[in-house]
A and B are shown apart, each in its own frame.
Chain A
Amino acid sequence: MISARSAARWHWKNPSVIPGFGLTLGFTLAYLTLIILIPLAALGWRSAALGWFDFFRLITDARTLGALKVSFSTALIAAVVNVVFGVITAWVLVRYDFPGRRVVDAIVDLPFAIPTAVAGIALTALYAPNGLIGSFLTPLGIKVAYTPIGIVIALIAIGLPFVVRTVQPVMQEISREVEEAAASLGANRFQTIFRVILPGLVPAILTGFALALARGIGEYGSVIFIAGNIPFVSEIAPLLIVIRLEEFDYGSATAIATIMLIISFLMLLLINVIQAWSRRRFGYEQ
């Protein structure tokens, strides 16, 4: 009886032969505290010092709302676009062996490596009305650079590797047999892809989406060059924070940062909940 009760008692950790639980957990917590929690707490502290009324007034300022809207909507659109093209890119890299596959595979990672400002300037040069691509789009009445479309393009470039790199390994593990089974049951290629392969990738796709979205919301370097930064039209929230800082308006900067943090946190939380549900739904966990 006694042993049964003690076995059922809640433990800090399950007994394990793997050593170092205390040490590694301690390190993780200290590390996260130092580089993430303390700065965020300082942010919360500063915005709390504003008081509810001021905080509310600052975040409902028309220009702030405009910037938040630009930031979140462009990041959302870019993440959705990245999901579509990222999955296709991953598919091509996993399923086909063609000359230069490794090169293409390496190119996917480039947005991780190049300074975002460089990417932004390069894209601006391409899409500006007198640029290589922009000069073709302008006669059609399509303006990319210095509009929200430009922001979306910059965020697509920055976010692509997140989707590709999260989906690719999961796609690699799909066995041929599963596809052959679908075919032997009479499913055509289209049905096999949309009813058998893609549903199994949903958790990975959601992860990639969340990463690309988070990256897009916080992106600064590449966007400010291509956006044109017109208040209410193409001014992103991170830029507005910098502008407020340069005006020594620390309260306003803090408030914008805090509300971005809250919205981002809620969005990522929601994605995580959906993801946990889909993992269960798609049988990854019992």
Chain B
Amino acid sequence: MEIRVEKIRKEFDLYPALHDVSLDIKSGELIALLGPSGSGKTTLLRLIAGLEQPTQGRIFFGNEDASYKSVQERNVGFVFQHYALFRHMTVAENVAFGLTVRPKAQRPPKAEIRRRALELLDMVQLSGLEKRFPNQLSGGQRQRVALARAMAIEPRVLLLDEPFGALDAKVRKELRRWLREFHDRTGHTTVFVTHDQEEALELADRVVVMSQGKIEQVGSSDDVYDRPNSPFVFSFIGESANLPVTVEGGAVFFHGAPTGLSAQRDGAARLFFRPQDVSLAQEGPCFTGPVTSSRRLAGTRIAEVELGSSDQPCHVEIEVPLDAAASNGSVLSFRPTRWKLFY
């Protein structure tokens, strides 16, 4: 099921949570809504689900305008961060709930409901636990029950709100891989919200980076990491350093000194680069400064270099080879190899 979000605006007590957000989700895609807290990602997900009503704008499911349909009518599978299982029902009853509340005419017979619940539990690898109650399960198992429960109604789209947020790191990684496989097997259009960029980059076909109620960038993991289109995306995704520079006559200057980089447009700008995208320089114009601290990080060393004048120092972190002389106080010269200017 394709989903089209058209110029959605949502205000809570006049405070806008989303400003005119538009997004096209292709059928069968796995999409991540990524952003810091307060960026509106959960609000967008809840609007798609119908748990919130938009102040303005429209949401289409395929060709059907679903903007003002209730959550019941939209037929979406929603998975909550804290599972939201029904604690007085067994696992099987939880999964079957969506089928048992259907009007009589559309409700499958009891035996059929039970068969489907067990089939779904098998799919989420929880066979044999159908008689347990939710609080007899671990967090990861509960979240899989929640997923099976959402799948039971054969939803047109699967929406997950920070599905792994309440789980510990190891279970989280397992479930992440498992969800990817699950998606590849079932082919459901899936949207999930996360503030964990690693999760978004690893899992999603496309990542929607959000900030302050707006979509900053939509793209594949490679797009948002390698070709960030705004200072926010550059600094939010992955590690990055940024420095105030000026461009004059095609050359980039930092604190009045040439840096060896060139650009098309003149003016004041901010230079962004990733710590690993630098090379140490022996000669010629470059960035030079004393190392203020350095630390070993797995196979590399991270050095913090102080640049600029001593009254307005800028600190940047760069990756240096393990054999480079990068002890405190030693002076490093380097040049970014991949970088981007934002004016």
On whether A200 and B88 interact (CB within 8 A), knowing A175-B82, A181-B80, the answer reads yes
Complex alpha-carbon distance, A183 and B85, angstroms: 13
A183 to B74, CA, bound (A): 10
B210: Cβ under 8 A from any A Cβ: no
Residues of A near B98 (CB, < 8 A) are: 185-187
Q: Return chain B residues, CB-CB under 8 Å to A184.
A: 49-51, 71-72, 76-78, 150
Contact of A196 among B86, B149, B152 (CB under 8 A): B86
The verdict on A177 contacting B87 (CB below 8 Å), with A187-B72, A188-B72 known, is no
Q: Is A286 a contact partner of B135 (Cβ separation < 8 A)?
A: yes
Q: How many A-B residue pairs have CB under 8 A?
A: 80
Q: Does B133 touch A at the CB level, under 8 Å?
A: yes
Q: Which among B78, B80, B88 has the greatest number of chain A C-beta atoms within 10 A?
A: B88
Which residues does chain A contribute within 8 Å of B86, judged by CB atoms?
178, 181-182, 196, 200
Q: Is the beta-carbon distance between A283 and B84 smaller than 8 angstroms? A: no
Say whether A180 faces chain B, with CB atoms less than 8 Å apart. yes
Interface string of A169-208 (1 = CB under 8 A from B): 0000001011011111111100100011001101000000
Q: Is the interface of A mostly helix, strand, loop or mixed?
A: helix
Q: Which chain B residues have a beta carbon within 8 Å of chain A's beta carbons?
A: 49-51, 70-72, 75-78, 80, 82, 84-89, 97-98, 101-102, 133-136, 146, 149-150, 152-153
* Shortest distance between the CB of A114 and any CB in chain B (Å): 37
- Residues of B contacting A175 with CB < 8 Å? 82, 84
A187-B72, A283-B135 known; A182+B88 contact, CB < 8 A: no
Q: Provide 7 A-B residue pairs closer than 8 Å at the C-beta atoms, listed in order of the A residue.
A: A177-B84, A180-B51, A181-B149, A187-B98, A187-B101, A188-B72, A282-B87
Which 7 pairs between the two chains have the least Cβ-Cβ distance?
A: A283-B133, A282-B88, A185-B98, A177-B84, A181-B84, A184-B78, A187-B101
CB distance from B95 to the nearest CB of A (A): 10
* Complex interface: chain B residues within 8 A of A187 (CB): 72, 97-98, 101
A101 interface contact, C-beta 8 A: no
Inter-chain contacts of A181 with B (CB < 8 A): 78, 80, 84-86, 146, 149
Pair B88/A180 contact, Cβ less than 8 Å: no
A185 touches B101 (CB 8 A): yes
Q: Does A281 contact B (CB under 8 A)?
A: yes
Contact of A183 with B71 in the complex, beta carbons under 8 Å:
yes
B48 to chain A, nearest CB (A): 11
Type the 1/0 row for A106-144, where 1 means its CB is closer than 8 Å to any CB of B. Answer: 000000000000000000000000000000000000000
CB distance from A209 to the nearest CB of B (A): 18
C-alpha gap A184/B97 in the complex (Å): 11
A199 touches B88 (CB 8 A): yes
Nearest-CB residue, chain B, relative to A281: B88
- B136 neighbours in A (Cβ, 8 Å): 283, 286
Among A177, A181, A182, A286, find the residue whose CB has the most chain B CB atoms closer than 10 A: A181
Write out the residue numbers on chain A whose beta carbons fall within 8 Å of the beta carbon of B77: 184
Residues of A within 8 A of B153 (CB): 185-186
Smallest beta-carbon distance B116→chain A, Å:
14
Given A187-B72, A188-B72, residue A182 in contact with residue B97 (CB < 8 A):
yes
In the bound complex, how far is the Cα of B85 from the Cα of A185, in angstroms? 12
Contacts of A185 on B, CB cut-off 8 Å? 97-98, 101, 149-150, 152-153
Q: Is the CB of A200 within 8 A of B84?
A: no
Q: How far is the CA of A183 from the CA of B72 in the complex (A)?
A: 6
